[in-house]
Structure 1
Amino acid sequence: MLTPNQRDRAIVKQGLTSEQVELNRQKYGRNVLTPPKRDPWWVLFLEKFADPVIRILMIAAIIALVVGGFQGEYVEGLGIIMAIFLATTLAFINEYRANQAFAILNQYVDDVQVRVMRDGRFTTIPRKDLVVGDVVYVEQGEEIPADGELLETVSLLIDESKITGESETIQKMTRQDAEEQGVHEDTYPIFNVYRSTIVDQGNGLFAVSAVGDQTEIGQLATAVATVESGDETPLNQQLEKLSQLIGLVGLSFATLIFSALLLRGLLTRELLLTAPQGYFLGVLILSVVVFLTPVWGPVVSDGLGLIDESWELPPWLTEDGLKAWLKSLLLGLAVAGVGVAIGLLLDFLPTLKEGWLTTEVSSSLLQYFMVAVTIIVVAVPEGLPMSVTLSLAYSMKKMAASNNLVRRMHACETIGAATVICSDKTGTLTRNKMMIHEVNFPSLHSTKFTDLEFNRSLIAEAIAGNSTADLDLLADGQVEAIGNATEGALLLWLDHEKLDYMDYRRGFHIHFRMSFSAQNKWMATLGRSGVTRKDILHLKGAPEVILERCSHILTEYGVFPLHNKEPILAAITTYQKRGMRILSFAYQDLPDNLVEFDLENMGHYLNWLGFVAIEDPLRAEVPQAIQACRKAGIQVKVVTGDGAETAQEIARQIGLCEDESTWQMGCLTGPEFRQMPDEEARERVKSLKVLSRAVPLDKLRLVKLLQEQGEVVGVTGDGTNDAAALKQAKVGLAMGSGTAIAKEASDIILLDDSFQSIVNAIIWGRSLYENIQRFILFQLTINVVALGIALLGPFIGVSLPLTVTQMLWVNLIMDTFAALALATEPPHDSVLDYPPRPRDAFIISGKMGWNICISGVVFLIFLVGFLLYLQRDHLMTDYELSIFFAVFVMLQFWNLFNARCLGLKQSAFNKLNENWSFVAIATTILVGQVVIIQFGGEVFRTVPLSLEDWSWIIGGTSVILWIGEIWRFAQRLRESRDS
């Protein structure tokens, strides 16, 4: 650990040189934490086989291979194995790729800018470029970027909860001050700071002693870069209920189909069984049912829960894992043993001569069982969670490109459901490019400094000494502000007046500082003045707060009592009405050797120095973005610490307040809001447009009141004071230029600080939800058709219209390819044409339900009719079944294009060039189906079809798409005619 005695004091003042930076980087490494160790890819791949349904298919495949071994046919078993491997491999690849999307978060953390002293001047660099020996400046709200020892501190309080677990902030000081005061701390020295801790108050300068993995938190291995999944969202709850419902339906259909096939086999004498063989078959089926309890138990339990939450099966029926399978195996064997024992007692078991079950019966029963299992596979939406994950990951990546860095994945969708946006003014609605428009210091003859040396020096000290911002000299000779934008504007003004702020800052020896507080509305610094040579208190902040504490005024003739404050207030109001921010200054001379001074109760005896009018231009895109939100049914409420006049003028410029009635009902000040009881405030916030002079608790209360009324609230903020409201809101949106505390509390970070980025996020969120709905529409339509065909097939003379391997291929299309295709649909601005969806809305809308039912029934009627036509001669050849399989898949292929247009009136071919993933996947499905038919052979029970056959199949089934296109065209015509 470096110590001040070992450290070259010249380097501390000047920082490292470029050569020293490179040497230290090579010697000590970069300031990057090694990513946490992840499970190897093969472990993730094997996890895909943990699914109970996949395990059942594996058992079915083994049985099929064993039975096939006696018959010399391995095709069915190999086909199932191939389908299992294909499904698990694609699921693994998609999940692996989705996980990789989170790497963007680590990149962002490493690229956060920090302020350092290098080559004798302050500059900003990415956090990852810090090296041992760098001199770093940190202030309130910032995260400590590396371990180090403090060189200077001003009222520095650090939140070290990330390494200590204790929430209480720690007072920090230099080693010299600690030794003088006799302060000792063994665990974490009071003169050291540590990476990932946060500055709660004050500021300081420290020399970096450790970077990257050598930092305290790196060695503790607690700095694992993870993405928080957040609480369960309404979307997750809806999808969970949908999955449970479909699982119950799938299990019911599987039971019905197995029973139907078994009954058909007995009635048609396909299953030739004696009475004892029938008894043994019953025992066998009952034993298998008991053995499969880990599969059907949870499904039935979930289904009962949908009907009545108080209904549930015994815990042992709903367990999962290896122990549950062992229990069910033992119980199944016990049932079989009891059945055999009863059969022996009653002499009702098959004789050795007739056999337990014939090979033909065993083969048929195995076929029935595999069909039933496959029905469950087809019905249960394994692709639904993957579709959601892919949609979220894809949106997360694309939103980052549009300046929305998503920290919590669920926020991608939740922002689309937002009904209220509570927005900051500065930086979000305005450009946060603060410029001094005019100064008003009575001690100066005009708006420029005069030869009154003492007065101008005192004002320069009030600006430079009571500030934490800095100036950076760029390569092109321009000067750029670093730190707080308002303070930076003041320093730029000093620079414009040819005054070096560093001279005045170095001449002012600070004793204590109270950082700016949104609660107090002022910042104070107490120290030894380089101008008066006495102790002095400098204060700056909101004009009405500062002016209230002033009893005297500094004029060009000296200090005089301030009897009439009205002219000053009138001048301030004039600037505020023009949308400018006013920052006022005051000071108070203090006696030497002052033992104690209470900043909170400093009295009302300050000397008024004057004020500056600061201009922050409105962002050009904001008025249009505000109107887009209002059109989308989203309320916008401006919450700011600025005065009422300033806030209302900004609201007028952005089109939020147009008439007098809106001004009266839509504008409140923080003090007025605080005095209202909850009932009155709850009613008033409904029409609220602007909340001015707001403190953090006002913002937090506003969010709570809105959410109590069922609103989905998004909040923007950039300061430490905004953290509570950001965390309380459904979606917290922190500014990219904001503090570490604000970003930590947020769900999304607006990298460009712009309100337009919020609108972009809303478009992505709503589009994402629609993409999930499109996948559900497509999947459930196929589910209805596949289940209907499998159930009705045995009753119209075709026991297996679709084989196990064919249905697994269909399932592959449904779950994997469709999820990939529809999850990557680009966003549409048209999602802003309607209001947010109700919070309790089910993900399957009424329109979707009708679409699924009508399309599914039409497809089913057509396919049943087609089956009857094909077997008009009471004979179904492999050729005819191949045509049926091709027609079934091609109907779903064209329906995929229709599903793409859910909620839109545009053509299915519109913007296809913007989603090459969809084109590639659709092509894969088409080519894959042709390959399977032409070369599937015995595995898929297909024979090659002619070019003429394919032309008829592809052309005939495409009618589904053309009907959809005509319908959407008619809707567009009707819409244009109405408009």
Structure 2
Amino acid sequence: MKSAAHHQGLSEQQVLENRTRYGINILTPPEKEPLWKQFLEKFSDPIIKILLVALLLSVGVAFYQFFTGTESASVFLEPAGILAAILLATCVGFAFEVSANKKFEILNQVNDDTMVQVIRGGNICELPRRDVVVGDIVILNTGEEVPADGVLLEAVSLQVNESTLTGEPLIGKTTNEAEFKKDATYPSNHVLKGTTVADGHGVMEVTSVGDKTEYGKVYEGSQIDNKVQTPLNRQLSRLGDLITWASYAIAALIVIGRLTLYFSHLPGPVEWLSAGTYILNTVMIAVTVIVVTVPEGLPMSVTLSLALSMKSMLANNNLVRKMHSCETMGAATVICTDKTGTLTRNQMNVYKADFYGLGNAVPTEDEPGNLIREGIAVNSTAFLDYADPEHIRALGNPTEGALLLWLHGLGVNYLDLRENARVLEQLTFSTERKYMATVAESPLLGKKVLYVKGAPEIVLGLCSTVLTPEGQVPAADMRPAIEEQLLAYQNQAMRTLGFAYRILEDDAPVFEDGRIIRKDLVYLGITAISDPVRDDVPQAVKDCMDAGIRIKIVTGDTPGTAREIGRQIGLWTEEDSPDRLMTGVEFEQTPDAELLDRVMDLKIMCRARPMDKERLVKLLQKKDQVVAVTGDGTNDAPALNAAQVGLSMGDGTTVAKEASAITILDNSFMSISRAVMWGRSLYRNIQRFIVFQMTINVAACLIVLIGAFLGTESPLTVTQMLWVNLIMDTFAALALASLPPDERVMQDPPRKTTDHIITRPMGRNILGVGILFVAFLFGLLQYFKHADITSLTQFSLCGYFRSYLDFSAPEHELTGYELSLFFTIFVLLQFWNMFNAKAFNTHQSAFARMGASIGGFGLVALLILAGQYLIVTFGGKMFNVVPLSWTDWGLIFAGTSLVLWFGELARAFTPDKSDARS
């Protein structure tokens, strides 16, 4: 750029001094925790902590039983199973997060080696962006990213895309103080790192580099706060407290009850040796209850659900960095979204073209049509990038690019028109003139033509007539209609351009002192240009609002533009009062106490600065809201970090991505809606597993409790219980975690942050079914003790109830066949109850949508059946079982299936209430 030659720039010595004094132009990468510390963080889960306590108690019991000779080495299988559950839950989660972070690093690579033009020692040279220092004189050209913060020394038609910092896609920059905008977010003579030159050119002196730039200041605090508790963390912590106190209460009841019974029935003085043995045995039973109560499979279920959701969400263009953010999206009650690039396409398009001489028809190859097509192609500094035929991009001024894209859509190649027309004179667009003008030799008309485009009211002032289908009419007659039309477009937040021409019959001068001196131009018409809303946004916004989620737009745009975008996406309606929109200045000046009363009803914040968005998030959180924030710019980073879930866009800035927990790879708001659906479905799956496992835990606790008072031994061996635990934990976790998402969850309102993860319907189901299982199994045990069963064909319902009530009848030791029957019946009861858990909270049949889940749930169900058959048939002494006849297998399968059929009947007669959290 020749005009830059008079700048001297820094000497080599000054460069070294300034680099030492002010630092290098690189953002300090976020400090990452070592892998071992990231792994240890997985043990901070509240349920994992309970499991660790249970593991210690289980190991203590196992060592006591082994060294006292009461049990063989198989007693260590129980603590081994708990240890395996802990390691699986922690390792799976750790592995998935490490994998996601590697994908993120690839996505988020920053190229600091991009070359920039710098003046040093009086010479223009190119050097990597990283080598720019404070005091450097940098030349800025169209399409280039500003490498650092600086003050402008020169600016020619300079327009900068500041959407990464302020949300504004196009800001005019100037060195003329008279033209400085007082309401500009940043001074009109300042340019900032990370923004892009959209049009024109300039020269800047660098004032800040690296971390000291506005971009870098936001980047410093952009990393995710891993210590923020998610709604699920809090709910699991409360569940852990409930389980802990319940197990302690039951254990205390056992100790008190057994000791009371023992000492109250002593026939004589206490024999302390015998009493000590009894007391120790009682304590061991109490510890066993505590171990049995802990749901070993819950952390695994949560982890597997989250991990599978991470994988599936990635297939749906959601790259999840922090596992729990999958579920937190399902708890979101508010989404604060920016406008540019999230709600809109971030690409200007021609919304409507009104060329009066064509009667608003498409410009064809007649004289008016040629004037319009050639004028757009020749009187422009923009280009189109055809590298990807599916996604043609505009380069340069986005408004001019929109006109070229419009021509392309009509099948017109602008390059043919531009290259065939010889440009004689040209005035590029400037904020002073507010128009661009080009004199060219037109091969289409065979004449010299002046083409003008710019602000419609300015261009119209240069015209004496307007071209209409009936011919040229006086401009004064058309002005009221044109101004009314312009007002209508401006009210819809659209940019408008006016077009004019003049065929030049002589060589009289057209330009003087950088302006058009003729006032006899012919007005062709106007175009309305907008950054259109993405096609899928209105439906996605509706889905979120139908799901009870409040949407709030936070943008740097003007109130009119923001309100119109809100109207187009279905957020802003005619019933909305003006107080539902605030400007950043108004928001900043309003105290927190007043804002807390207004913040829930607020729909749009415009002219917002980065800290305004962060403050909005924190105020919403004070109202007990779970806030998700979307953004693609550096200005969004503080809010992304403050929110429970930050969602950055795939083509967003490095700062935005670092601050987010989820990156939306396709920039689609519909993907955000899908993330909410996945999160809610995941939470439902976790609840289903809790229903399943806690039902078994209730049954197991009551059996141990009853057995403790009756002095009976458990009918299930340690190895059998290990298999039951495997079903409860790993297999059930796999089955219920792999259930596909259910779109009907989007019809429910968000759950409250104060809700317990076990709802009232869940509690009734857990206690009711658990007690029924205990009653049935206890009666079955009594029946087997009073009847010599060699086949279930001998089973008598009358005998079952009689033995249940008649405790005076003679008993016998259970045979191996009877124990095998009991073991298999116990397992099959849980098997069928797993189907009930699958259908819990859906009011659908357990077989509904089975086709969608057959790859996960169905296969796991078959694996459980096959595993049970193999263990009973071939387990022998290891599992203390003998093979069962095919007849008994059929009777057990059919008889225990009543658990499912009773569940189906209950669901059939239960009203379909989507929200079962009351």
Q: TM-score, normalised by structure 2?
A: 0.64
1:577–1:886 Cα change, 3 Å: same
- 1:790 deviation in Å? 0.8
Among 369, 380, 387, the alignment partner of 1:474 is 387
Contact 1:627–1:655 (8 Å) recurs in 2: yes
For the pair 1:895 / 2:833, whether they are aligned, the reply is yes
Q: 1:582 to 1:665 in 2, by over 3 A?
A: farther
Q: Distance in 1 between matches of 2:34 and 2:296?
A: 28
Give the CA deviation at 1:666.
4.7
Take 1:274 and 1:925, find their aligned partners in 2: how far apart are those partners? 50
Letter in 2 for 1:747: A
Offset at residue 714 of structure 1 (A): 2.3
Q: Is 1:277 the counterpart of 2:191 in the alignment?
A: no
2:844 to 906, 910, 917: 906
| Aligned mates of 2:97, 2:61 — CA distance in 1 | 38
Cα distance between partner residues in 2 of 1:403 and 1:721:
23
In the other structure, the counterpart of 1:413 is 327
Whether contact under 8 Å (1:384, 1:819) holds in the other structure is yes
- Note the 1:610-759 alignment, pairs <5 A: 613-658=528-573, 660-662=574-576, 666-667=580-581, 681-759=595-673
Greater shift in the superposed pair: 260-269 or 945-954: 260-269
Q: What is the alpha-carbon distance in structure 1 between the residues aligned to residue 391 and residue 528 of structure 2? A: 23
Distance change >3 Å, CA 153–CA 914, structure 1 → 2: farther
Q: Is the 8 A contact 1:44 1:92 kept in 2?
A: no
Matches within 5 A, 1:347-362: none
Pair 1:829 & 2:743 matched: yes
1:98 is matched by which residue type in structure 2?
G
Cα displacement string for residues 480-525 of structure 1 (whole angstroms, at most 9, x for unaligned residues): 3469966864786899654999xxxxx99xxxxxxxxxxxxx9999
RMSD: 5.6
Cα 1:964/1:137, change in 2 over 3 Å? farther
Question: What is aligned with 1:504?
Answer: none
Q: Distance in 1 between matches of 2:848 and 2:583?
A: 49
CA distance in 2, matches of 1:232, 1:423: 22
In the alignment, what sits opposite 1:606? none
Give the match for residue 774 of structure 1.
Answer: 688
- Post-superposition CA distance 1:159-182 (Å, at most 9, x none): 9xxxxxxxxx9xxxxxxxxxxxxx
Q: Given that residues 460 and 494 in structure 1 are in contact (C-alpha distance below 8 angstroms), is that contact kept between their aligned partners in structure 2?
A: no
Match of 1:840 in 2: 754
Alignment of 1:123-272 (within 5 A): 135=115, 149=131, 154=140, 199=193, 229-254=226-251, 256-257=253-254
CA distance in 1, matches of 2:286, 2:892: 28
Tell me if the contact between 1:91 and 1:816 (Cα under 8 Å) persists in the aligned partners.
no
Aligned residue pair count: 712
Equivalent-residue separation in structure 1 for 2:318 and 2:40 (angstroms): 33
Is 2:629–2:640's contact at 8 Å kept on the other side of the alignment? Answer: yes
Quickly say closer, same or farther: Cα 1:731–1:686, change in 2 above 3 A: same
Equivalent position of 1:962 in the other structure: 901
Could you say what secondary structure the match of 1:421 adopts?
strand
Amino acid at match of 2:688: R
Q: Pick closer, same or farther for the CA change 1:672–1:552 going to 2, 3 Å.
A: farther
What does the per-residue CA deviation read over 1:248-299, in whole Å, with 9 as the maximum and x for residues that have no partner? 3224434554676788899999x999935247658x94xxxxxxxxxxxxxx
Q: Secondary structure at the match of 2:576?
A: helix
Q: Name the CA shift for 1:581/1:911 in 2 (closer, same or farther; >3 Å).
A: farther
Shift of 1:894: 1.0
Q: 2:889 is matched with which residue?
A: 950
Residue-by-residue CA offset, 1:341-370 (whole Å, 9 max, x unaligned): xxxxxxxxxxxxxxxxxxxxxxxx5xx666
Secondary structure of 2:575's counterpart equals helix
Deviates more, 1:748-757 or 1:476-485: 476-485
> In the aligned structure 2, how far is the partner of 1:781 from the partner of 1:426?
50
Q: Identity of aligned pairs, percent?
A: 42
The equivalent of 2:814 in structure 1 is 877
Shift of 1:877: 1.0
User: For 2:39 and 2:748, how far apart are their aligned partners in 1?
Assistant: 46
Which secondary structure state, in structure 1, belongs to the residue aligned with residue 909 of structure 2? Answer: helix
User: In structure 2, what is the Cα distance between the partners aligned to 1:447 and 1:674?
Assistant: 51
Contact 1:411 1:747 in 2 (8 A): yes
* CA-to-aligned-CA distance 1:139-163 (integer Å, 9 cap, x gap): xxxxxxx99545966595659xxxx
Match of residue 398 from structure 1: 312
Q: Secondary structure at the match of 1:798?
A: coil
CA contact (8 A) 2:618 2:642 kept: yes
Shift of residue 827, structure 1, vs aligned partner: 0.9
Aligned residue type for 1:54: L
Residue equivalent to 1:192: none
Partners in 2 of 1:700 and 1:65 — Cα distance? Answer: 59
Task: Map residues 502-541 of structure 1 onto 2, 5 A cutoff.
Answer: none
Alpha-carbon deviation of 1:899?
Answer: 0.8
Could you say what secondary structure the match of 1:734 adopts? strand
Task: Quote how far apart the aligned CAs of 1:721 are.
Answer: 2.2
Q: Give the distance between the partners of 2:331 and 2:97, measured in 1 at CA.
A: 23
Call closer, same or farther: CA 1:862–1:273 in 2, change over 3 Å.
Answer: farther
> For 2:844, what is the secondary structure of its paired residue?
coil
Take 2:698 and 2:256, find their aligned partners in 1: how far apart are those partners?
19
**For 1:596-611, what aligned pairs fall within 5 Å after superposition?**
none
One-letter code of the match for 2:242? L
1:953 is displaced (CA, Å) by: 2.0
Q: 1:760 aligns with which of 674, 691, 702?
A: 674
Q: Is the 8 A contact 1:260 1:794 kept in 2?
A: no
Distance in 1 (alpha carbons) for counterparts of 2:368 and 2:318 = 45
* 2:7 equivalent to 1:92: no
Q: CA deviation at 1:852?
A: 1.3
Q: Distance in 1 between matches of 2:350 and 2:553?
A: 23
SS of 1:906 mapped into structure 2: coil
1:416-460 per-position Cα deviation (integer Å, ceiling 9, x unaligned): 11222233334333344422457999xxx999989999x999x85
2:323 matched to 1:386? no
- CA-CA distance at 1:848 after TM superposition: 0.9
TM-score, normalising length: structure 1? 0.61
Q: Deviations over 1:35-92 (max 9, x none)?
A: 9985699999999999343344345444544444xxxx9xx43323344445534553
Measured against aligned partners, the alpha-carbon deviations of 1:83-106 in whole angstroms (never above 9, x if no partner) come to 444553455345433333235534
Match of 1:329 in 2: none
How far 1:964 sits from its partner (Å)? 0.9
Does 2:100 match 1:105?
yes
The question of 1:80 aligning with 2:75 is answered yes
Q: Is the 8 A contact 1:818 1:896 kept in 2?
A: yes
When structure 1 is superposed on structure 2, of 900-909 and 737-746 the one drifting more is 737-746
Say if 1:401 and 1:438 are closer, same or farther in 2 by CA, change over 3 A.
same
Amino acid at match of 1:246: I
1:830 shift after superposition = 1.0
Relative to structure 1, the CA distance from residue 231 to residue 102 in structure 2 (aligned partners, 3 Å threshold; closer, same or farther) is same
Match of 2:733 in 1: 819
Shift in Å at residue 771 of structure 1? 1.2
Shift of 1:842: 0.9
Compute the displacement of 1:896 (Å). Answer: 0.9
Q: Amino acid of the residue matched to residue 878 of structure 1?
A: T
Tell me by how many angstroms 1:768 deviates.
1.2
User: How far apart in 1 are the matches of 2:493 and 2:42?
Assistant: 59
- Alpha-carbon spacing, 1:199–1:923, altered in 2? closer, same or farther (3 Å): farther
**Equivalents in 1 of 2:598, 2:42: separation in Å?**
55
Give the unaligned 5+ runs of structure 2: 1-28, 119-127, 150-164, 166-191, 202-219, 356-366, 420-424, 439-453, 465-478, 500-512, 514-524, 787-809
- Say which of 857, 866, 870 aligns to 1:927: 866
1:921-944 CA-to-partner distances (Å, cap 9, x unmatched) read 222333333333334444444333
How many Å apart are 1:799 and its aligned residue?
Answer: 2.9
- Equivalent-residue separation in structure 2 for 1:896 and 1:949 (angstroms): 22
Give how far 1:950 is off: 2.2
